[in-house]
């Protein structure tokens, strides 16, 4: 704006000066004065002309419509990947919404070095601005949350020069790679421990315990427990991978959640009895019409009820409930009156091999995969898992299921309490 005024007001100012000089000198110098005005006008015109001829090195964002027609600007604005346009002086001309979420607000017109902090990225921008071909740059941002990006740079306009920066978010891929590596490391570690125990006992039985019948019986018993642990781990790993493979295929069977809950609870009666736990199922017959996969749902609720028995109060209760939730959803819950789960552990419970108390879980034959399996089954059913817990009071795991469009049978209104 200031440059525009300077360019346009300069001739007037020069003309006024010339006129003033003319008046001061008197009418005798009329021709000289006219020549002065003419010269001023010519010089001014030349300067203005020069300015329009010179390549513009920066373009105020107001003039962005010249290089970025409205439809393109709208498209880039909604584009899910972060995009930034820079002028030849590496000042920000344009950022889309995704880039604004990355840089924070108010980055337009600022030098890019005040907006982006990563040195490798800034070096790449500088070389691209010099016209050098730029290879994609990988960089990470540690705060506020660790994120990984690949940056692509390209000159998209020559006069005026405009540089485009596009970021590709690699965070999910990097986290996936790390999780896969951790998973293999964890799975082999979990298998190595019982395997080492079994190998050790085989050596002992071959050696000094060869003729000790009492020791042999004792060792064989421990070996059988360890082998059972390995078998459970392999079964859980296989079932996790099967569920993961099917996760994108929606289930098709029309089921009543009430039947599933009762069947899951009945299967765990022997375990509940040995821990002196009473399982209370509160679900009206045939209630909870959903579309689901029967075996997976039984596994889901067995994992939850088994946890409630294992980590609940000895001699306590496990409540299994079913209720209607807003929007025709069904909420199936498993609640215990055990010692509860610390708040900082809640978010990690569904991670593979995560256990609040590793020793206690192992003692109870746990592999640390139960809730990871639950999460994937819930995912396949397009449901939601809600975990609530208070230390010293107990924990509650609720699964919200979307309604089946046309429930085969309307649920009965009164809930029926059944103590198994």
* Interface positions, 135-194, toward ligand ATP (CB under 6 A): none
Nearer to ligand ATP, 69 or 342 (CB): 342
368 contact choice in Mg ion, ligand ATP, none (CB below 5 to 8 Å, kind-dependent): ligand ATP
* Interface positions, 280-309, toward ligand ATP (CB under 6 A): 303, 307-308
Q: Which stretch binds Mg ion (CB under 5 A): 82-90, 227-235, 273-281, 366-374?
A: 366-374
357 contact choice in Mg ion, ligand ATP, none (CB below 5 to 8 Å, kind-dependent): ligand ATP
- Residues that contact Mg ion, how many (by CB under 5 A): 2
State in angstroms the smallest separation of the CB of 98 from ligand ATP.
Answer: 35
State in angstroms the smallest separation of the CB of 116 from Mg ion.
Answer: 45
352 contact choice in ligand ATP, Mg ion, none (CB below 5 to 8 Å, kind-dependent): none
Nearer to Mg ion, 260 or 305 (CB): 305
Q: Is 333 in the site for Mg ion (CB under 5 A)?
A: no
Nearer to ligand ATP, 91 or 355 (CB): 355
Nearer to ligand ATP, 328 or 342 (CB): 342
Nearer to ligand ATP, 355 or 381 (CB): 355
- The sign of the CA dihedral 261, 264, 270, 274 is negative
Nearer to Mg ion, 111 or 316 (CB): 316
Q: Is 338 in the site for ligand ATP (CB under 6 A)?
A: yes
Among 149, 201, 301, 311, binds ligand ATP (CB under 6 A): 311
Q: Please return the burial class of 56, using the count of CB atoms within 10 Å of its CB with bins 0-12, 13-18 and 19+.
A: middle
The alpha carbon of residue 313 and the mean position of all alpha carbons in its chain are separated, in whole angstroms, by 35
Nearer to Mg ion, 340 or 370 (CB): 370
Query: Could you tell me the two tokens for 378?
Result: 């819930």
Q: Which stretch binds ligand ATP (CB under 6 A): 107-115, 130-138, 269-277, 335-343?
A: 335-343
Among 84, 116, 134, 369, binds ligand ATP (CB under 6 A): 369
State in angstroms the smallest separation of the CB of 218 from ligand ATP.
Answer: 25
Q: What residues pair up with 227 in beta bridges, in sequence order?
A: none
State in angstroms the smallest separation of the CB of 280 from ligand ATP.
Answer: 15
Among 40, 96, 333, 367, binds ligand ATP (CB under 6 A): 367
State in angstroms the smallest separation of the CB of 241 from ligand ATP.
Answer: 14
Cα torsion 246, 251, 255, 260 to 10°: value is: 10
Q: Is 401 in the site for ligand ATP (CB under 6 A)?
A: no
Query: Could you tell me the two tokens for 79?
Result: 């584009």
SS (H, E, C) the chain: CHHHHHHHHHHHHHHHHHHHHHHHHCHHHHHHHHHHHHHHHHHHHHHHHHHHHCCCCCCCHHHHHHHCCHHHHHHHHHCCCCEEEECCCCEEEEECHHHHHHHCCCCCCCEHHHHCCCHHHHHHHHHHHCCCCCCCEEEEECCCCCEEEEEEEEEEECCCCEEEEEEEECHHHHHHHHHHHHHHHHHHHHHHHHHHHHHHHHHHHHCCCCCCHHHHHHHHHHHHHHHHHHHHHHHHHHHHHHHHHHCCCCCCEEEEHHHHHHHHHHHCHHHHHHCCCEEEEECCCCCCEEEECHHHHHHHHHHHHHHHHHHCCCCCEEEEEEEEEHHHEEEEEEEECCCCCCHHHHCCCCCCCCCCCHHHHHHCCCCCCHHHHHHHHHHHCCCEEEEEEECCCEEEEEEEECCCCCCCCCCCCCCCEEEC
Q: Which stretch binds Mg ion (CB under 5 A): 21-29, 109-117, 126-134, 305-313?
A: 305-313
Q: Is 349 in the site for ligand ATP (CB under 6 A)?
A: yes
Q: Which stretch binds ligand ATP (CB under 6 A): 32-40, 43-51, 127-135, 355-363?
A: 355-363
Q: Is 333 in the site for ligand ATP (CB under 6 A)?
A: no
Where do contacts with Mg ion occur on this chain (CB under 5 A)?
Answer: 307, 370
Where do contacts with ligand ATP occur on this chain (CB under 6 A)?
Answer: 236, 303, 307-308, 311, 336, 338, 341, 349, 354-357, 361, 366-372, 395
């Amino acid at each position: 704006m200031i440059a525009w005024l300077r360019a346009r007001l300069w001739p007037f100012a020069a003309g006024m000066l010339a006129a003033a000089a003319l008046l001061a000198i008197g009418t005798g110098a009329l021709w000289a004065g006219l020549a002065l005005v003419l010269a001023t006008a010519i010089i001014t015109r030349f300067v203005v002309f020069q300015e329009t001829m010179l390549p513009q090195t920066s373009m105020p964002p107001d003039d962005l419509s010249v290089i970025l027609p409205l439809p393109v600007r709208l498209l880039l604005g909604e584009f899910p990947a972060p995009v930034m346009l820079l002028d030849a002086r590496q000042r920000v001309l344009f950022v889309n919404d995704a880039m604004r979420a990355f840089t924070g607000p108010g980055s337009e017109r600022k030098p890019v070095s005040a907006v982006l902090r990563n040195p490798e990225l800034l070096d790449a921008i500088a070389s691209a601005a010099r016209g050098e071909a730029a290879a994609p740059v990988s960089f990470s941002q540690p705060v506020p949350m660790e994120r990984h990006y690949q940056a692509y740079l390209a000159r998209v306009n020559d006069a005026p020069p405009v540089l485009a920066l596009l970021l590709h978010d690699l965070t999910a891929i990097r986290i996936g790679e790390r999780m896969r590596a951790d998973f293999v490391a964890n799975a082999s570690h979990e298998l190595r421990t019982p395997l080492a125990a079994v190998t050790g006992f085989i050596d002992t039985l071959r050696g000094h315990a060869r003729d000790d019948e009492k020791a042999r019986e004792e060792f064989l018993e421990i070996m059988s427990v360890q082998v059972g642990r390995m078998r459970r781990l392999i079964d859980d790993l296989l079932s996790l991978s099967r569920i993961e493979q099917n996760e994108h295929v929606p289930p098709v069977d029309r089921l009543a959640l009430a039947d599933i809950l009762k069947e899951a609870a009945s299967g765990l009666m022997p375990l509940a009895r040995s821990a002196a736990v009473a399982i209370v199922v509160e679900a009206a017959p045939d209630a909870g019409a959903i579309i689901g996969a029967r075996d997976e749902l039984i596994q889901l609720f067995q994992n939850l009820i088994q946890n409630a028995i294992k980590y609940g109060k000895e001699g306590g209760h496990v409540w299994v409930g079913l209720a209607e939730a807003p929007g025709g959803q069904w909420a199936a819950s498993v609640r215990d009156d055990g010692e509860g789960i610390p708040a900082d552990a809640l978010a990690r419970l569904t991670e593979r091999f995560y256990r609040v108390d590793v020793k206690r879980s192992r003692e109870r034959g746990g592999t640390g995969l139960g809730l990871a399996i639950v999460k994937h089954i819930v995912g396949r059913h397009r449901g939601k898992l809600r975990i609530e817990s208070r230390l010293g009071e107990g924990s509650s795991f609720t699964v919200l299921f979307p309604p089946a469009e046309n429930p085969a049978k309307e649920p009965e209104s009164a809930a029926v309490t059944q103590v198994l």
